[in-house]
Amino acid sequence: MAFAAHFHPASASDDGPDAAAALCARIADHADASAVLRLSIGEFGSGLAMVSSFGTESAVLLAMAAEIDRAVPVIFLETGKLFPETIAYQEMLVDRLGLSDVRLVRPAPAALAMQDPDGQLWRQAADRCCTLRKTLPLQSGLTGFSAWVTGRKRFQATSRRAVEIFEAEASGRIKINPLAHWTSAQIDAAFKERDLPRHPLEAYGFASIGCTTCTRPVAPGQDRRAGRWFGQAKTECGIHLSLPSAA
Q: Is 45 left (phi over 0), alpha (psi -120 to 50) or beta?
A: left
How far, in whole angstroms, is CA 170 from its chain's centroid?
Answer: 18
Cβ-in-10-Å burial (0-12, 13-18, 19+) of 204 comes to: exposed
Q: Give catalytic residue positions.
A: 237
